[in-house]
Structure 1
């Protein structure tokens, strides 16, 4: 189970033209934003990544606006765990469970999730907040995740799991996001 105080969020490569080219782009970006807002409401650490932003462009405005005051971590490898800087942020967050959302499901999301599992973290991919240019690649990625001990969840399922109690002070904020 995901628990408050021991779960973080990794937001991967929701940027440039790529974000507009993925399957169900608007829905995916909206769900990534809901995931970020939920993580913020629950005071979860958020790691924000961009793949070679000088070539792919910056994060879409909807994501960048939610992350105002923070700077994305630029990477050039598909697997974020290949970056020593990313790994230092993961370690500094001091949580054992990670949710991953973003793009593309079959490349950066899958490779990063796979490496985080190998490093001993519990990882779940937020299935309605990831996408690929081709829907078949997203489906393949989610199936492969399931076979590799990477959990699958949704925005609503993960936020309520972390929330745990309707008497929690964050309940109304989470409810507003999932309505």
Structure 2
């Protein structure tokens, strides 16, 4: 699959959620690689935070990467990002037609965002090793429900190499080093 005009929708990877998330010790390093890899490939990011007063802000290492790339969070109170007018406006301004999803929790905010984007006729791929929930069962449930609505699936390494397309790409060596 070719990604004509992709954008990452980075959903709610916040401190208080992270404290209880399934497999967080693997998830956060993967998300760091994802953000760094997409930056090398000039793929833009829409960064979301769900009610930061209650859930805290984005995990510090990820916040540093996103801030360094010039992004700031879109604060939302709806579970689906589509419920945020600011999100809708920024997504439309981006011109993106293919949504890549990563974040927390796969069965709530990630799922509802995917569902609504699919209903709005966006192409959506969930990066399955870059989403999680408090339990593995809920992570899997969220992924299954997204697939049921028509989302595609990919993994971190698959995605980065699919975006590269060739070892001749100027970012190939940097991406290769990043995933090792």
TM-score (norm 1): 0.96
Q: In structure 2, list runs of 5 or more residues that go unmatched.
A: none
Rounded to whole Å, the distance in 1 between the matches of 2:39 and 2:18 is: 22
Contact 1:10–1:47 (8 Å) recurs in 2: yes
Rounded to whole Å, the distance in 1 between the matches of 2:2 and 2:148 is: 20
Instruction: Give yes or no for the alignment of 1:63 onto 2:62.
Output: yes
How do residues 29-178 of structure 1 correspond to structure 2 at under 5 angstroms?
Answer: 29-68=28-67, 69-178=70-179
Q: Secondary structure at the match of 1:147?
A: helix
Correspondence for 2:12: 13
Rounded to whole Å, the distance in 2 between the matches of 1:2 and 1:173 is: 21
Over the residues paired in the alignment, what is the CA RMSD in angstroms?
A: 1.1
Q: Secondary structure at the match of 1:11?
A: strand
TM-score (norm 2): 0.95
Q: What is the aligned length?
A: 178
Q: Secondary structure at the match of 1:105?
A: coil
Deviates more, 1:22-31 or 1:101-110: 22-31
What is the Cα deviation at residue 30 of structure 1? 1.2
What CA deviation, in whole Å up to 9, does each residue of 1:30-56 have, x standing for no partner? 111111111101101100000000111
Contact 2:80–2:109 (8 Å) recurs in 1: yes
Contact 1:2–1:97 (8 Å) recurs in 2: no
- After the TM superposition, list the runs of 4 or more consecutive aligned residues in structure 1 that deviate by more than 6 angstroms: none
What is the Cα deviation at residue 70 of structure 1? 2.5
What is the Cα deviation at residue 148 of structure 1? 1.4
